[in-house]
Every structure is written in C-alpha cells, then in structure tokens.
Amino acid sequence: MRRDIFQAIADPTRRAIIALIAVQAMTPNAIAENFNTTRQAVSKHLRILTECELIKQKQKGREIYYSLEIDKMKEIDHWIEQFRVIWETRFNQLDHLLSTIKKNTK
C-alpha cells in the first residue's frame, strides 16, 4: 500500500520522530527510548515514514541510522505555503480594517 505524506505526519508519534531525527540521525533503539511504547511500535512508525520517503536509513556497521529526508519535507512546506499566503493576506486585510475603524472612532 502506497502511503501519503500527510497520512504519515497526521500521527503525533511520527511527528515526534521526525522532530527527533531532524536534529541528528538516530538508531531505532535510540528513537524508541524517547517514547513510552514498544520497540515494535516505533519500528512500524519508522517503516511508514520510510515508505513515504520522509526519512531515510543508512547502515553504519551493525547499526541502522535514520535521518530526515529534507527534500520530502520541502514538499509539505510548498503545499502549506499556498495557505500561508491566504492567511497572511486575510490578516493584512483585517489589520487594515481595524486601523480604519480605529481612525473613524477618534
């Protein structure tokens, strides 16, 4: 089953994993230590994030390290950007309206 990026980031545990490995690459055990859940549950989250290409894995000796896939995160940012423009435009319009009302009440 092909998963969607937004399905992946909808889960709070997966968002927390992304935040953890954004700072530095980590092993599954190191990631699991940050959660009150089983190692298997964390592995499932890692698999989903990997399937969505939000994280990548790299073998170093006997350990696997997971790190953030920045280009994939940019896709999310580009999608959100269209809404950011709308929100900022509306806030600017509201600010202008409030300034006009304030001037008229003086």
Range of the domain at 33: 1-68
Query: Which residues make Cβ contacts (< 8 Å) with residue 65, sequence separation at least 6?
Result: 25, 26, 27, 57, 58, 59
* 90 plus 56 within the same structural domain: no
* 52 plus 5 within the same structural domain: yes
Number of domains in the chain: 2
Please report, for the domain that includes residue 10, its CATH number.
Answer: 1.10.10.10
pTM score: 0.76
* 50 plus 36 within the same structural domain: yes
* 35 plus 15 within the same structural domain: yes
CA distance 73 to 54: 7
Digitized pLDDT (tens) for each residue of the chain, 106 residues in all? 567 888 899 999 999 999 999 999 999 999 999 999 999 999 999 999 999 999 999 999 999 999 999 888 888 888 889 899 899 999 999 999 999 998 888 7
